[in-house]
């Protein structure tokens, strides 16, 4: 039923754009709109090609497509609307959903399990992406716990400590002024002529890190802080990169772990 050549073409195209966008997002934190729409046009082409290929089972195709759109782009559209995620991440999920609305990607899996039901591909892709984020945060947290635990502000709450250790790192003010796309989690403010460090657990995706660097430079020039003073900063992980990891894992194992989990639960 599935066309292997079409599946391979879609996989190659998706990998190409995810790798390209991942590099752009990591280096510049910006993906030009024209590149996003180029991928969108190609995704729509593959969607139409798939619809023609599966025209004899069109109702099955439509059901999977609607389910995929509600789960993937539907969820990420809400996250982007509430500014919890960038719109580039939403469109990446949308284009992947349109390229793989039905479970034809499982054709190339290294491991597989016979089943009359297969999950819409966007479900394991998002799930594996989320697990990748959790694993990266865990590794980072364990590293920070060893290296930076003595530098956690004593007035930090338990939730603040977790956020700092699992998402941040410690650098000097001097070094931070030379860094790009890092955002402070401990922010020095002047209160009653004294420097007080406020703590936050995350940053707004629409913030500009240069604004914080200008503020720190002003405090430094006024002698209120020292170049060797330490602050907690975070880079964050652009979601395109975990999305790439989730996509690769889906290519390798598909929804097989989810199917086994269902078997265990049943």
Using a 10 angstrom Cβ sphere, with 0-12 exposed, 13-18 middle and 19 or more buried, the burial of residue 54 is buried
For 111-143, the pLDDT digits (tens) are: 877 778 899 999 999 999 999 999 988 998 899
Show the tokens assigned to 57: 């089972």
What pLDDT was estimated at residue 160? 92
For 49-58, the pLDDT digits (tens) are: 999 999 999 9
d(CA 211, CA 254): 43
d(CA 54, CA 70): 21
Mean predicted confidence (pLDDT) in 225-236: 90
Backbone angles phi, psi at 199, to 5 degrees: -115, 135
For 179-227, the pLDDT digits (tens) are: 988 999 999 888 877 888 899 988 887 888 999 999 999 999 988 899 9
Q: Where are the domains of the chain?
A: 4-135+240-265, 169-234
Name the region of 52 (left: φ>0; alpha: ψ -120 to 50; beta: rest). alpha
Q: What is the pTM of this model?
A: 0.87
Q: In Å, how far are 31, 124, 182 from 196, measured between CA atoms?
A: 36, 45, 21
Sort strands 169-172 and 186-191 into parallel, antiparallel or unpaired.
Answer: unpaired
Show the tokens assigned to 68: 């995929």
Would you place residue 33 in the very low, low, confident or very high pLDDT band (cuts 50, 70, 90)? very high
Max CA distance (Å), the chain: 75
What pLDDT was estimated at residue 46? 97
What pLDDT was estimated at residue 150? 87
Nearest to 2 by CA among 149, 131, 104, 129: 104
What pLDDT was estimated at residue 227? 92
Length of the chain in residues, anyone? 266
Would you place residue 2 in the very low, low, confident or very high pLDDT band (cuts 50, 70, 90)? low
Any idea what the Cα angle at residue 86 is, between residues 85 and 88, rounded to 5°? 135
């Amino acid at each position: 039923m599935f066309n292997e050549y079409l599946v391979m073409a879609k996989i190659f195209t998706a990998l190409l754009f995810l790798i390209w966008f991942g590099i752009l997002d990591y280096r510049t934190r910006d993906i030009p709109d024209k590149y996003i729409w180029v991928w969108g046009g190609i995704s729509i082409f593959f969607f139409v090609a798939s619809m023609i290929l599966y025209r004899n089972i069109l109702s099955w195709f439509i059901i999977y497509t609607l389910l995929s759109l509600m789960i993937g782009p539907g969820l990420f559209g809400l996250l982007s609307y509430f500014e919890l995620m960038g719109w580039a991440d939403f469109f990446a999920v949308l284009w992947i959903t349109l390229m793989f609305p039905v479970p034809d990607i499982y054709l190339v899996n290294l491991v597989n399990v016979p089943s009359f039901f297969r999950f819409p591909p966007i479900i394991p892709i998002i799930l594996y992406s989320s697990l990748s984020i959790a694993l990266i945060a865990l590794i980072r947290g364990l590293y920070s716990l060893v290296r930076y635990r003595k530098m956690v502000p004593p007035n930090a709450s338990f939730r603040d400590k977790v956020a700092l250790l699992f998402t941040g790192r410690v650098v000097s003010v001097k070094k931070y002024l030379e860094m790009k796309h890092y955002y402070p989690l401990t922010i020095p403010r002047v209160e009653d002529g004294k420097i007080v460090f406020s703590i936050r657990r995350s940053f707004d995706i629409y913030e500009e890190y240069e604004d914080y660097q200008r503020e720190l430079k002003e405090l430094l020039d006024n002698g209120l802080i020292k170049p060797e003073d330490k602050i907690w900063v975070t880079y964050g992980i652009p979601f395109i990169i975990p999305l790439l990891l989730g996509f690769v894992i889906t290519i390798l194992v598909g929804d097989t772990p989810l199917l086994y989990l269902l078997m265990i639960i049943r």
